[in-house]
Amino acid sequence: MEVIDLGISRQDGDAVVAGSHVYAIGMFDGVHLGHRQVVLAARALAQDLGVRAGVITFDRHPSAVTGTGSPARFLMTTKQRLESLAELGPDTAVVLPFDEKLAAMSPQAFVREVLLKRLSLVGAVVGENHSFGRGASGRAHDLARMGADLGFRVAVVPSVKIDGVVVSSTLIRSLIAAGDVAGASRYLGRPFAVDGIVIEGRHLGKELGFPTMNLGLNSEQALPAAGVYIVSVLIDGDTVSRWGICNVGSKPTVSSGGVSVEVHVLDFNGESYGKSIRVGFLDYIREERRFASLQQLREAIASDERYARRWMAAHADGEPRPDRHELDLQPNRSVIQ
């Protein structure tokens, strides 16, 4: 998948994509089960038209620029999002800088000046709740009308529901914030994960008999509620994830600092400082607690590990991952217009 970042050395007005494209358009934060259907429908329409398939996404959440509500924390970094989108097989991914200029564009100007003039769009696929343009004033039906007027195809994909609940990034963020990482995985179709660099810590975990990796994190990425979790850990350079337990929180027994993420990787004695790791949150063990002594903390961690090993034995089906909610990944061609 070719990635085109319009935030890097692009002059306004330049055509930046060669060849006609059908684009799936959206923030795609989390690349959840609903997003997948939009991208797959774009691929199907592109195949019908004999053109290339692409995705259009943005470098930040609109709320970070428009000031409408509290800025949403990302479910994924841009790197994670592009990796997950690439797995769905589009030819091209365009990353648009969501800045004040883009936020001020009317829906009509966005379509004419960006989609048609710069990105060689001949077809657009969006979810039924998609909005675009200044103040999110353009809706999916407006895009369909513009397509009819300006000569490009539009497909609107219905929302995906699981047990009657609409899959959405907002819902997934709320589940993660509540610590329900298993529930979030159900709507994502895979574990919620955070990326970070292993940084130097106080080595207290090693003294307690449970060496940990301390993560340096992107401050804009969402984190689960404070607590202890069963996780999978993929260390840079490895091809297989390892099991672990992870503490998210302020470590009240030993610290009064800010929020940290510490991972104890089971049965691992290798060196990890300075390496990138991806931590996938599989299930919740317990809330974070303040203990009266380091011995009580040591006993609690040992209990967490025993529980985690029992959980892992019950879910031992290869690479660490929770049960997946399988969704038919064939696009619904009834939405292709």
Instruction: Note the pLDDT tens digit of each residue in 74-120.
Output: 999 999 999 999 999 999 999 999 888 999 999 999 999 999 999 99
Structure tokens at 316: 């031992």
Q: pLDDT class for 278, splitting at 50, 70, 90?
A: very high
**CB contact set of 204 (below 8 Å; sequence gap of 6+):** 254
Please tell me the distance from the alpha carbon of residue 279 to that of residue 231, in angstroms, as a whole number: 6
Q: pLDDT class for 266, splitting at 50, 70, 90?
A: very high
Q: pLDDT class for 269, splitting at 50, 70, 90?
A: confident
Amino acid, single-letter form, for residue 287: E
Structure tokens at 11: 């002059």
Using the predicted structure, report yes or no on whether residue 234 has a pLDDT greater than 50.
yes
Distances (CA, A) of 71 to 63, 65, 66, 146, 221: 5, 8, 9, 30, 11
Tell me, what's the pLDDT at 67? 60
For 183-230, write each residue's pLDDT tens digit. 999 999 999 999 999 987 776 666 666 788 999 888 788 999 999 999
Average pLDDT, the chain: 87
Tell me, what's the pLDDT at 259? 83
Q: pLDDT class for 10, splitting at 50, 70, 90?
A: low
Q: Quick one: what percent of the chain has pLDDT higher than 90?
A: 64
Q: Which residue has the higher pLDDT, 205 or 121?
A: 121
Of 130, 53, 49, 48, the residue nearest 88 (C-alpha): 53
Using the predicted structure, report yes or no on whether residue 9 has a pLDDT greater than 70.
no
Residue whose token pair is 């470590």 = 251
Domain residue ranges in the chain: 2-164, 192-314
Asked if residues 289 and 199 have their Cβ atoms less than 8 Å apart, the reply is: no
Q: Could you count the other beta carbons within 10 Å of the beta carbon of residue 78? A: 17
Using the predicted structure, report yes or no on whether residue 254 has a pLDDT greater than 70.
no
Using the predicted structure, report yes or no on whether residue 336 has a pLDDT greater than 50.
no
Assigned fold of 192-314: Elongation Factor Tu (Ef-tu); domain 3 (2.40.30)
For 39-85, write each residue's pLDDT tens digit. 999 999 999 999 999 999 998 877 767 665 565 789 999 999 999 99
Q: What is the mean pLDDT of residues 254-264?
A: 79
If one looks up domain 2-164 in CATH, what number appears? 3.40.50.620
Please tell me the distance from the alpha carbon of residue 16 to that of residue 326, in angstroms, as a whole number: 37
Tell me, what's the pLDDT at 322? 40
Distances (CA, A) of 167 to 152, 155, 171, 198, 254: 28, 19, 7, 33, 39
Please tell me the distance from the alpha carbon of residue 13 to that of residue 115, in angstroms, as a whole number: 11
Distances (CA, A) of 230 to 67, 84, 94, 273, 320: 35, 22, 35, 21, 10
Tell me, what's the pLDDT at 204? 65
Q: Quick one: what percent of the chain has pLDDT higher than 70?
A: 85
